Amino acid sequence: MTDLATRVTPPRATPLRRAAPALLGYAAVRALGLLALVAWSAARGKSAYTLLTARWDALWYARVAGLGYGYEVRLPNGDVHSDLAFFPLLPWLERLLHALAPLSYADAGFAVSLLASLAAAWGVFAVADHGYGRRAGICAVLLWAVLPVGIVQSMAYSESLFTALAAWSLYAALTGRWLTAGALAALAGLTRPVGLAVVAAVWTAGVVSFVRDRSAAAAYGARDEERAPDTTGGAVALTHSPRPTTGASARSRALGMLLAPLGAAAYVLWVGHRTGKGPLGYLDVQAGWRNGFDGGYAFARFVADKFTSFPSVLAGAGLIIGVGLVIWLYLIGVQQRQPLPLLVYTGVVVALALCASSYFGSKPRLLLPAFPLLLPLATALARARASRSAPVIGLLAVGAAAYGAFWLNGSGPP
Q: How confident is the model at residue 226 (pLDDT cuts 50, 70, 90)?
A: low
Intra-chain end-to-end CA distance of the chain, in Å: 67
Task: Give the model confidence (pLDDT) of 368-414 as tens digits.
Answer: 999 999 999 999 999 998 888 899 999 999 999 999 999 999 887 76
Q: In sequence order, which residues have a C-beta less than 8 Å from that of residue 291 and are 6 or more positions away?
A: 85, 356, 357, 358, 359
Range from 179-193, 196-210, 239-253, 290-304 carrying the lowest mean pLDDT:
239-253
Q: What is the pLDDT of residue 12?
A: 66
Q: What is the pLDDT of residue 410?
A: 87
Nearest to 51, CA basis, from 73, 33, 64: 33
Q: What is the pLDDT of residue 232?
A: 44
Strands (E), 32-124: 72-74, 80-82
The DSSP string of 162-204 is HHHHHHHHHHHHHTT-HHHHHHHHHHHHTT-TTHHHHHHHHHH
Rounded Cα–Cα distance for residues 414 and 407 (Å): 11
The CA distances from residue 100 to 65, 108, 118, 157, 251, in Å, are: 14, 10, 21, 20, 37
Residues 182 and 176: beta-carbon distance below 8 Å: no
Q: Read off φ and ψ for residue 190, nearest 5 degrees.
A: -90, 0
Tell me: pLDDT of 240 over 80: no
Rounded Cα–Cα distance for residues 93 and 70 (Å): 19
Rounded Cα–Cα distance for residues 256 and 262 (Å): 10
Query: 72-74 and 80-82 as β-strands: parallel, antiparallel, unpaired?
Result: antiparallel
**Strand, helix or coil for residue 244:** coil
The CA distances from residue 93 to 62, 87, 158, in Å, are: 10, 12, 11
Tell me: pLDDT of 197 over 70: yes
Nearest to 122, CA basis, from 152, 176, 165: 165
Rounded Cα–Cα distance for residues 34 and 400 (Å): 11
Q: What is the dihedral of CA 373, 162, 413, 405, to 10 degrees?
A: -80
Q: What is the pLDDT of residue 224?
A: 53
Cβ-based neighbour number of residue 406 at 10 Å: 15
Rounded Cα–Cα distance for residues 312 and 318 (Å): 10
Tell me: pLDDT of 82 over 50: yes
The CA distances from residue 288 to 69, 85, 284, in Å, are: 16, 9, 6
Rounded Cα–Cα distance for residues 363 and 149 (Å): 10
Nearest to 354, CA basis, from 403, 298, 411: 298
Q: How confident is the model at residue 3 (pLDDT cuts 50, 70, 90)?
A: very low
Task: Give the model confidence (pLDDT) of 109-158 as tens digits.
Answer: 999 999 999 999 999 999 999 999 999 999 999 999 999 999 999 999 99
Task: Give the model confidence (pLDDT) of 318-372 as tens digits.
Answer: 889 999 999 999 999 999 999 999 999 999 999 999 988 877 778 899 999 999 9
pTM exceeds 0.75, yes or no: yes
Give CA 330 to chain center in angstroms: 15
Nearest to 144, CA basis, from 169, 123, 170: 123
Tell me: pLDDT of 237 over 50: no
Residues 64 and 83: beta-carbon distance below 8 Å: yes
What value does the mean pLDDT take over residues 22-29?
Answer: 97
358: exposed, middle or buried (Cβ count in 10 Å: 0-12, 13-18, 19+): middle
Rounded Cα–Cα distance for residues 307 and 317 (Å): 8
CA atoms within 13 A on the CB side of 368: 27
Task: Give the model confidence (pLDDT) of 153-182 as tens digits.
Answer: 999 999 999 999 999 999 999 999 999 999
Residues 112 and 164: beta-carbon distance below 8 Å: no
Q: What is the dihedral of CA 94, 98, 99, 100, to 10 degrees?
A: 100
Task: Give the model confidence (pLDDT) of 247-297 as tens digits.
Answer: 778 899 999 999 999 999 999 999 999 999 988 899 999 988 888 888 888
- Distant-in-sequence contacts of 97-101, Cβ < 8 A, 24+ apart: 98/65, 98/66
Q: In sequence order, which residues have a C-beta less than 8 Å from that of residue 268 and are 6 or more positions away?
A: 279, 281, 282
